[in-house]
Homo-oligomer: A and B are copies of this chain.
Amino acid sequence: MDHNQKLSLLKKTAIFRNTPETDLAAIADILDVISVKPGDSIFLKGDKGDSMYIIQKGVIRIHDGAYTFAFLKKNEVFGELSLLDAETRSASATCDKESTILKLEQPPFYEILAKDQEVLKGILQMLCRRIRALDEKSAHE
């Protein structure tokens, strides 16, 4: 998987959709490509987490034991809160169908955030949008 393929995948994710391509190049450089088979565990609920994953192809199940929260497919992202705050994982992630996923780790990502205001603004906007959406949802329940 070459640099341009990584770049093109980043552009399709909700988290980096609005980040300029020049800024994404630095992130593409620090992505690790991982192949997983059905049943492989990516992380367990309660693990200390400091990385996020992007699905290039395949299906990943997000679950708590037997209870499934979501089946995630290509261009979807998981584990992004732990990328930012390094808290423990609130759910497990297990490969459901043969998948290729890209891993983004916290230390090099924080260096990019500190250097690049556009990436930083994109991340902060994404987080604020989620809080606004959840606030709105809980106000109407």
Chain A interface residues (CB < 8 Å from chain B): 81, 84-85, 87, 90, 110, 113-115, 117, 120-121, 123-125, 127-132, 134-138, 141
Distance in angstroms between the alpha carbons of A37 and B21 in the assembled complex: 48
Per DSSP, chain A at the interface is helix
Residue of B nearest to A115 (CB): B114
Q: Closest 4 A-B residue pairs measured CB to CB? A: A134-B134, A85-B128, A127-B127, A85-B125
Chain B contacts for A87, CB-based, 8 A: 128, 132
Distance in angstroms between the alpha carbons of A84 and B136 in the assembled complex: 18
Shortest CB-to-CB span from A84 to chain B, Å, is 5
Shortest CB-to-CB span from A137 to chain B, Å, is 6
